[in-house]
Homo-oligomer: A and B are copies of this chain.
Amino acid sequence: MRAVVPFDATAPKTRLAPVLDSTERRAFAERMLRDVVAAVEAAGGVPQVVATESVDVDRPAATVRVDDRPLSAVVNDAIARTVEGGDPLAVVVADLALATPAALSRLFEAEGDVVVAPGRGAGTNALVVRTSDFHVDYHGTSFLDHLDIARAAGVEPTVVDSFRLATDIDEPTDLVEVLVHGTGRAHEWLDARFELVVDDDEGRVGLGRR
Protein backbone atom coordinates (compact mmCIF):
# COMPACT_ATOMS: atom_id res chain seq x y z
CA MET A 1 0.00 0.00 0.00
CA ARG A 2 1.28 3.45 -0.89
CA ALA A 3 1.68 5.59 2.22
CA VAL A 4 2.07 9.33 1.96
CA VAL A 5 4.20 10.68 4.82
CA PRO A 6 3.90 14.48 4.87
CA PHE A 7 6.84 16.35 6.45
CA ASP A 8 7.24 20.00 7.37
CA ALA A 9 10.93 20.47 6.53
CA THR A 10 10.77 24.26 6.76
CA ALA A 11 10.04 24.93 10.44
CA PRO A 12 9.39 21.56 12.02
CA LYS A 13 8.03 21.09 15.56
CA THR A 14 7.92 24.77 16.60
CA ARG A 15 5.85 23.89 19.69
CA LEU A 16 8.91 22.06 21.06
CA ALA A 17 10.75 25.41 21.25
CA PRO A 18 10.54 25.55 25.08
CA VAL A 19 12.92 22.56 25.30
CA LEU A 20 14.69 22.20 21.90
CA ASP A 21 16.42 24.93 19.84
CA SER A 22 15.76 25.13 16.10
CA THR A 23 18.75 22.97 15.11
CA GLU A 24 17.68 20.31 17.60
CA ARG A 25 14.07 20.45 16.45
CA ARG A 26 15.12 19.81 12.87
CA ALA A 27 17.45 16.96 13.89
CA PHE A 28 14.76 15.36 16.07
CA ALA A 29 12.01 15.81 13.46
CA GLU A 30 14.18 14.13 10.78
CA ARG A 31 14.78 11.16 13.07
CA MET A 32 11.04 10.81 13.71
CA LEU A 33 10.47 10.94 9.94
CA ARG A 34 13.04 8.20 9.34
CA ASP A 35 11.48 6.05 12.07
CA VAL A 36 8.03 6.45 10.53
CA VAL A 37 9.34 5.64 7.03
CA ALA A 38 11.12 2.53 8.35
CA ALA A 39 8.01 1.38 10.26
CA VAL A 40 5.80 1.90 7.19
CA GLU A 41 8.21 -0.22 5.11
CA ALA A 42 8.37 -2.94 7.77
CA ALA A 43 4.56 -3.05 7.84
CA GLY A 44 4.52 -3.67 4.09
CA GLY A 45 3.79 -0.11 2.98
CA VAL A 46 5.54 1.90 0.28
CA PRO A 47 6.44 5.26 1.85
CA GLN A 48 6.21 8.38 -0.27
CA VAL A 49 7.52 11.37 1.66
CA VAL A 50 6.02 14.69 0.65
CA ALA A 51 8.11 17.47 2.18
CA THR A 52 7.91 21.25 2.04
CA GLU A 53 11.64 21.31 1.22
CA SER A 54 14.23 18.71 0.25
CA VAL A 55 15.04 16.18 2.97
CA ASP A 56 17.19 13.05 3.08
CA VAL A 57 15.30 10.10 4.54
CA ASP A 58 18.15 7.64 4.11
CA ARG A 59 15.91 4.82 2.83
CA PRO A 60 16.44 3.62 -0.74
CA ALA A 61 12.84 2.39 -1.08
CA ALA A 62 11.29 5.70 -0.04
CA THR A 63 10.64 8.44 -2.56
CA VAL A 64 10.75 12.10 -1.58
CA ARG A 65 8.75 14.74 -3.39
CA VAL A 66 8.84 18.45 -2.59
CA ASP A 67 5.42 20.10 -2.45
CA ASP A 68 4.79 23.18 -0.32
CA ARG A 69 1.02 23.27 -0.67
CA PRO A 70 -1.19 22.81 2.41
CA LEU A 71 -1.45 19.22 3.66
CA SER A 72 -5.11 18.77 2.70
CA ALA A 73 -4.41 19.74 -0.93
CA VAL A 74 -1.46 17.35 -1.13
CA VAL A 75 -3.45 14.43 0.28
CA ASN A 76 -6.56 15.08 -1.79
CA ASP A 77 -4.38 15.05 -4.93
CA ALA A 78 -2.88 11.74 -3.84
CA ILE A 79 -6.37 10.29 -3.23
CA ALA A 80 -7.40 11.37 -6.71
CA ARG A 81 -4.33 9.86 -8.37
CA THR A 82 -4.01 6.63 -6.37
CA VAL A 83 -7.49 5.65 -5.20
CA GLU A 84 -9.23 6.55 -8.46
CA GLY A 85 -6.71 4.22 -10.10
CA GLY A 86 -7.97 1.37 -7.94
CA ASP A 87 -5.26 1.26 -5.26
CA PRO A 88 -5.71 2.06 -1.55
CA LEU A 89 -3.79 4.97 -0.06
CA ALA A 90 -2.45 5.43 3.45
CA VAL A 91 -1.47 8.75 5.01
CA VAL A 92 0.78 8.66 8.07
CA VAL A 93 2.03 11.85 9.72
CA ALA A 94 5.79 12.13 10.20
CA ASP A 95 5.85 12.79 13.95
CA LEU A 96 4.53 9.42 15.13
CA ALA A 97 7.68 8.58 17.07
CA LEU A 98 5.96 5.61 18.74
CA ALA A 99 4.69 4.01 15.52
CA THR A 100 5.72 0.38 15.21
CA PRO A 101 5.26 -2.08 12.32
CA ALA A 102 2.64 -3.87 14.46
CA ALA A 103 0.62 -0.70 15.04
CA LEU A 104 0.80 0.27 11.36
CA SER A 105 -0.15 -3.25 10.31
CA ARG A 106 -3.35 -2.92 12.35
CA LEU A 107 -4.04 0.29 10.39
CA PHE A 108 -3.21 -1.14 6.96
CA GLU A 109 -5.11 -4.39 7.60
CA ALA A 110 -8.25 -2.85 9.12
CA GLU A 111 -11.31 -3.36 6.94
CA GLY A 112 -13.27 -0.48 5.53
CA ASP A 113 -13.17 2.13 2.79
CA VAL A 114 -12.11 4.79 5.28
CA VAL A 115 -9.92 3.82 8.26
CA VAL A 116 -8.92 6.53 10.73
CA ALA A 117 -6.40 6.54 13.58
CA PRO A 118 -7.22 9.55 15.75
CA GLY A 119 -4.60 11.73 17.36
CA ARG A 120 -4.96 13.54 20.67
CA GLY A 121 -6.86 16.79 20.44
CA ALA A 122 -9.34 15.62 17.78
CA GLY A 123 -6.63 15.27 15.15
CA THR A 124 -6.09 12.63 12.47
CA ASN A 125 -2.71 10.90 12.68
CA ALA A 126 -3.17 8.17 10.10
CA LEU A 127 -5.67 7.15 7.46
CA VAL A 128 -6.34 4.44 4.91
CA VAL A 129 -8.57 5.51 2.03
CA ARG A 130 -10.11 3.00 -0.37
CA THR A 131 -12.77 5.22 -1.97
CA SER A 132 -12.21 8.37 -4.00
CA ASP A 133 -15.57 9.66 -2.71
CA PHE A 134 -13.66 10.60 0.47
CA HIS A 135 -11.54 13.71 0.91
CA VAL A 136 -9.52 15.14 3.80
CA ASP A 137 -9.72 18.41 5.71
CA TYR A 138 -6.96 18.58 8.32
CA HIS A 139 -7.92 21.83 10.05
CA GLY A 140 -9.27 21.81 13.63
CA THR A 141 -11.36 18.80 14.70
CA SER A 142 -10.21 16.76 11.72
CA PHE A 143 -10.96 13.39 13.32
CA LEU A 144 -14.64 14.27 13.73
CA ASP A 145 -14.71 15.95 10.34
CA HIS A 146 -13.24 12.86 8.66
CA LEU A 147 -15.91 10.66 10.25
CA ASP A 148 -18.57 13.06 8.93
CA ILE A 149 -17.01 13.22 5.44
CA ALA A 150 -16.91 9.42 5.27
CA ARG A 151 -20.55 9.09 6.35
CA ALA A 152 -21.61 11.76 3.87
CA ALA A 153 -20.01 9.54 1.21
CA GLY A 154 -22.05 6.57 2.43
CA VAL A 155 -19.11 4.89 4.19
CA GLU A 156 -19.12 3.83 7.86
CA PRO A 157 -15.58 4.70 8.97
CA THR A 158 -13.38 2.24 10.86
CA VAL A 159 -11.50 3.69 13.85
CA VAL A 160 -8.21 2.13 14.93
CA ASP A 161 -7.72 2.25 18.70
CA SER A 162 -3.93 2.64 19.07
CA PHE A 163 -2.00 4.65 21.66
CA ARG A 164 1.09 4.47 19.46
CA LEU A 165 -0.74 5.96 16.48
CA ALA A 166 -2.59 8.52 18.65
CA THR A 167 0.63 9.96 20.04
CA ASP A 168 1.98 12.58 17.67
CA ILE A 169 4.88 14.48 19.17
CA ASP A 170 3.97 18.17 19.34
CA GLU A 171 4.49 19.46 22.87
CA PRO A 172 7.30 19.08 25.40
CA THR A 173 5.17 16.70 27.53
CA ASP A 174 4.90 14.39 24.51
CA LEU A 175 8.65 13.81 24.69
CA VAL A 176 8.07 11.76 27.85
CA GLU A 177 6.20 9.26 25.66
CA VAL A 178 9.19 8.99 23.30
CA LEU A 179 11.52 8.21 26.21
CA VAL A 180 9.08 5.65 27.68
CA HIS A 181 7.77 3.90 24.54
CA GLY A 182 10.10 4.80 21.64
CA THR A 183 12.49 2.29 20.13
CA GLY A 184 14.05 3.98 17.08
CA ARG A 185 16.32 6.81 16.03
CA ALA A 186 14.20 9.55 17.64
CA HIS A 187 14.26 7.72 20.97
CA GLU A 188 18.02 7.21 20.75
CA TRP A 189 18.62 10.89 19.93
CA LEU A 190 16.36 12.10 22.76
CA ASP A 191 17.64 9.59 25.30
CA ALA A 192 21.19 10.89 24.78
CA ARG A 193 20.07 14.38 25.85
CA PHE A 194 17.12 13.99 28.26
CA GLU A 195 16.06 11.71 31.08
CA LEU A 196 12.80 11.02 32.87
CA VAL A 197 12.34 12.96 36.11
CA VAL A 198 9.73 11.96 38.70
CA ASP A 199 8.16 14.73 40.78
CA ASP A 200 8.33 13.18 44.23
CA ASP A 201 5.33 15.06 45.64
CA GLU A 202 2.86 14.35 42.85
CA GLY A 203 4.48 11.27 41.34
CA ARG A 204 4.14 12.92 37.95
CA VAL A 205 6.76 12.21 35.27
CA GLY A 206 8.54 14.92 33.29
CA LEU A 207 11.91 15.20 31.60
CA GLY A 208 15.15 17.04 32.26
CA ARG A 209 18.42 17.61 30.39
CA ARG A 210 21.09 15.08 31.20
Q: Is the CB of B122 within 8 A of A196?
A: yes
Q: Is the CB of A141 within 8 A of B180?
A: yes
The contact sample of 25 A-B pairs, CB cut-off 8 A, is A102-B161, A103-B161, A106-B161, A118-B180, A118-B181, A120-B176, A121-B173, A121-B176, A121-B204, A121-B205, A122-B176, A122-B180, A122-B196, A122-B205, A138-B203, A140-B203, A141-B180, A143-B180, A144-B180, A161-B162, A161-B163, A162-B163, A163-B163, A163-B166, A166-B166
Which 4 A-B pairs have CB atoms at the shortest separation, nearest pair first? A140-B198, A163-B166, A122-B205, A122-B180
Instruction: Please name all residues of chain B whose beta carbon is closer than 8 Å to the beta carbon of A176 when the two chains form the complex.
Output: 120-122
Docked complex Cα distance between A87 and B122 (Å): 39
The answer, yes or no, to whether A24 is at the interface (CB within 8 Å) is: no
The answer, yes or no, to whether A177 is at the interface (CB within 8 Å) is: yes
Interface residues of A in 18-37 (CB under 8 A from B): none
Docked complex Cα distance between A194 and B58 (Å): 46
Q: Is the CB of B181 within 8 A of A141?
A: no
Instruction: Please name all residues of chain B whose beta carbon is closer than 8 Å to the beta carbon of A196 when the two chains form the complex.
Output: 122, 141
Quote the shortest CB–CB distance from A105 to chain B (angstroms): 11
User: In the complex, which of the residues B139, B164, B203 contacts A203, with contact meaning CB atoms closer than 8 Å?
Assistant: B139
Quote the shortest CB–CB distance from A165 to chain B (angstroms): 8
Q: Is the CB of B161 within 8 A of A205?
A: no
Instruction: Please name all residues of chain B whose beta carbon is closer than 8 Å to the beta carbon of A122 when the two chains form the complex.
Output: 176, 180, 196, 205
